[in-house]
Chain A
Amino acid sequence: MSQPAENETLPQEQKPKLWVYLLPLGLFGVLMIFFFFGLGLNPRLLPSPLIGQPAPDFSLPKLSNPDETIQNVDLTGEVSLLNIWATWCTSCRQEHPVLMKIAESKEVPIHGLYYKDQPALGIEWLNNYGNPYYDNAVDMDGKVGIEWGAYGTPETFVIDQEGIIRYKHVGPISWHDWQTTLLPLINLLKNNNGV
């Protein structure tokens, strides 16, 4: 085979301009900006106006048994978590193993607020993947979720013995969040009552 003709030079103006070569770098820069925000480095943890307030009134059917109801009285007496979730929420799937580990640790009961979803789907989901919840309230039309100020799933509230909301976590809880933020707060709340 003959040697390929090398470096056949063309007039300068036919060669691509510098900006063409900079294009990949520019596109990558834009992408990085989105990743940066996507990682949540921007302050998206909006403080909930409900912190320090009693949990809003509600009375909803139980997922396991629609004839029974759950009310906010059921959230008092001990420190507990209220987790808003649904089967259509993929972030909830990511969070699920962490909730399972929290449930195993028996530190705190997790109440579920099953949000805008079909009860049958929720029951099947819990049967398939495991049930970390103490019980679940079904909020089919999402009204209670609005009362609680939820703007997405998953969201998790820490509620103290008196039924007062102490903390709100937006998005899936990671094991790191649990160990560094939620668990210390829960222990603090437990001890305060003990004194």
Chain B
Amino acid sequence: MIPELGHFTLILALAVAFVQAIIPGMGFLRRRADWMAVAKPAALLQFALVLSAYGILTYSFIVNDFSVLYAANTSNSELPLIYRISGVWGAHEGSLLLWVLILSTWTAILAMQSKKYPVDMSAGVISVLGFISIGFILFSLFTSNPFLRHFPAPVDGGDLNPLLQDPVMAIHPPMLYMGYVGFAIPFAFAIAALVQGKLDTAWARWVRPWALIAWVSLTAGITLGSWWAYYELGWGGWWFWDPVENASFMPWLTGTALIHSLAVTEKRHALRNWTVLLAIISFSLSLLGTFLVRSGVLTSVHAFASDPTRGVFILVFLGLVVGISLGLFAYRAWQLRTITPFSFVSREMALLTNSVFLLIIMLTVLLGTLYPLILEALGGGKISVGPPYFSRVFIPLMIPVVILMAIGPFIRWRQDSVSTLTKQLRLPAILAVIFASVISLLLPGKLNLTAWFALLLAFWVFNSCYTQLKLRLRNTQSLQKGLKRIPRGWYGMIIAHIGIAFTVVGIALSSVYSQEQDVHMVSGDDRTLGDYRFEFVDVERKKGPNYQADVGTIQVYKNDKQLMTLHPEKRIYNVRKNMMTEAAINTNLLRDLYVSLGEQRNTETGAWSVRLYYKPFILWIWLGGFVMILGGLIAVTDKRYRIEVKQENIKLDDKYVATS
């Protein structure tokens, strides 16, 4: 009975989504306040209904109701409670419902804050979000209903994929979805503004915090996913240019371009059409990501259960949403085109160049991801474009972006002179060369040009951030007052840029100086990587809550002093009989020691295949990600975004203005 209630609430949510899309939408077009007033209650009601549907599905997981087909496929009574809750989004049907829940949550938050926006704008935005919600609830109900029952109910469920039984993997999908869905809001603002034909600096100010929140969530989702892949998959890699990873990276790239372009539109009223286009593209790529992951068009190591019939639905939906919005863009942006002049040496130009580069990088990733598909459609064979393509094109394109990060913030709006700029830029650049060279010499291992260059870029960014802080504090009497006067948005930018510098260091140094060995070891064998000697002691069989494990013991020595004992595991889960490697990793800021246990090679001698890795500075990759998140969060709290608008100035059709 309870799952049926969930199913029913979801149907009700669909009905409310129709109301939320159509009535405020008509009000927005006809400028009728009474119809627009429906927006907020409809958004809140839809949120309440979707939340109950989601809550009911979670309840079925918690009480192990395996008559619900979806629960029977993805859960198991032996599963710890936390993974029964996170298991709700462990497969397609539930993660789609989570998508809908996050969309309605964002919409409800926007509706609650509607005082910040003119009443017509918020009605328009909520209406657009309602249309998106209709699409996804229909998708859920018709192709992937999580509430379906099957009789007789099995005694126990098929269990959650053990790969997903991990705390990081439990929060990775919601973060990623918050990012994907978050870009729906800048998108909705863009559509409402195009329909209205009014795109001004206030519009950019309304959109900025939403774009930032989406960007922060997406950054968090990607960082967590990459970290998880590193410690859980047992291959020592952290990014595989897998189609599913690319699907999340592409909206991140255009989202980054969007938050920068929004700054130009807010401060200078320039690049308006470009900003709107980036908002549309970012959300389109989020939808595309959903399509690629769920349709089975591209196959990937992630191997989600995917199904071509679902692909057709998403493809049609994608075509409608993106086609209509790009069509609207072509028509309106062409009408609204204006040119706000800026010179070649100006902040606007630097930010435009940055977003063009990010867009080009996105297109190369898109090409690499879709190339196998395009080739197949044209009648060629099945091929896959591997990491060599991506690293060959990605790195050269990323270098100018990082250099712009060091230079851009110095350049004045509108026009700046090359000579003053060179004067300001000289010192940070020279110091960067010195620092990079010194650190390169101090690093263990041979001198390496790539490592030196990456350090140079990172220090350059860091020094230029520091110099800008000093420039900002130039004319203040007290340090405290000066620091307080700087807007949070600026701090956010500086911190996020430093985060990028961290990630650059992590990527370059770990890929240049890593050492690995893939060996067979028997008790007493040892191997040396860098300064570390790994000694294989033994492997024991142990029992976990819902698995059996072979637990290895490996002693690590440095300069013949015993440093630590590592315990990599090989687990076999009871229900699905999946084999899982749990790598043993010792992390600090300077290096990771990583050991993963392979197969037993020889039962007589007790030889095991073991993978040993020494990875310097790899932690910095994810540390950089977390610093970027921090920067984004600080920028969101800028007080500029809390301004409320005066509703009296909005022209409405007088007849229908509510008299409250």
Q: Do A and B come from one complex?
A: yes
- A interface residues, Cβ below 8 angstroms from B: 1, 4-10, 14-16, 18, 21-22, 24-25, 28-29, 31-32, 34-41, 90-91, 93-94, 96-97, 124, 127-130, 152, 172, 174-176
* B-chain residues with CB within 8 Å of residue A9 when the two chains form the complex: 338-339
A4 engages B268 (CB within 8 Å):
yes
| Interface of B (DSSP majority class) | helix
* B-chain residues with CB within 8 Å of residue A40 when the two chains form the complex: 308
**Chain A residue, CB-CB nearest to B291:** A35
The 7 closest A-B pairs by CB, nearest first: A37-B377, A25-B326, A4-B269, A21-B330, A21-B334, A38-B373, A90-B299
Partner of B297, one of A6, A39, A127: A39
- 8 A Cβ contacts from B315-354 to A: 315, 318-319, 322-323, 326-327, 329-331, 333-334, 337-341
- B interface residues, Cβ below 8 angstroms from A: 201, 267-270, 273, 277, 280-281, 284, 291, 295-301, 303, 305-309, 311-312, 315, 318-319, 322-323, 326-327, 329-331, 333-334, 337-341, 370, 373-374, 376-377, 381-382, 384, 576-579, 599
A127 engages B308 (CB within 8 Å):
no
Q: State the total of A-B contacts with C-beta under 8 angstroms.
A: 122
* B-chain residues with CB within 8 Å of residue A39 when the two chains form the complex: 295, 297, 308, 311-312, 315
* B-chain residues with CB within 8 Å of residue A1 when the two chains form the complex: 267
A8 engages B341 (CB within 8 Å):
yes
Q: What's the least CB distance linking A71 to chain B, in Å? A: 30
Tell me the complex Cα distance, A35–B323, Å. 14
B330 engages A129 (CB within 8 Å):
no
A28 engages B322 (CB within 8 Å):
yes
* B-chain residues with CB within 8 Å of residue A5 when the two chains form the complex: 269, 340
Q: What's the least CB distance linking A14 to chain B, in Å? A: 7
Tell me the complex Cα distance, A4–B334, Å. 21
* B-chain residues with CB within 8 Å of residue A38 when the two chains form the complex: 297-298, 373-374, 376-377
- Given A8-B340, A28-B322, A39-B297; 18 other pairs, CB 8 A cutoff: A1-B267, A4-B269, A10-B341, A16-B334, A21-B333, A32-B315, A34-B374, A39-B308, A39-B311, A39-B315, A90-B301, A91-B299, A93-B299, A94-B300, A130-B578, A130-B579, A174-B306, A175-B307
B339 engages A94 (CB within 8 Å):
no
* B-chain residues with CB within 8 Å of residue A16 when the two chains form the complex: 334, 337
B576 engages A130 (CB within 8 Å):
yes
* A-chain residues with CB within 8 Å of residue B268 when the two chains form the complex: 4
Q: What's the least CB distance linking B163 to chain A, in Å? A: 11
Tell me the complex Cα distance, A152–B273, Å. 46
Asked whether A10 and B384 contact (CB < 8 A) given A28-B322, A38-B376, A130-B577, the answer is no
